[in-house]
Amino acid sequence: MRLHSLAAAAWLLMCMSAAGEPLAAAPNANSDFERCRAQANLDACYDAIRYRPSDPSLLSALGDALARANRPADALRTYKRVAALAPNEPGVTAKIGAIEAKLSAKRPAPKPPAHATSPDAASGKRFSNAAPETQSH
Domain-wise residue ranges, the chain: 21-107
Query: End-to-end alpha-carbon separation of the chain, Å?
Result: 96
- pTM equals 0.58
- Region 104-127: what's the mean pLDDT? 64
> In this structure, which amino acid lies at residue 27?
P
Phi, psi of 22, deg, nearest 5: -60, 145
Cα–Cα distance measured from residue 3 to residue 21, given in angstroms and rounded to the nearest whole number: 25
The CATH number assigned to the domain with range 21-107 reads 1.25.40.10
Tens of pLDDT along 42-73?
998 999 899 889 999 899 999 999 999 999 99
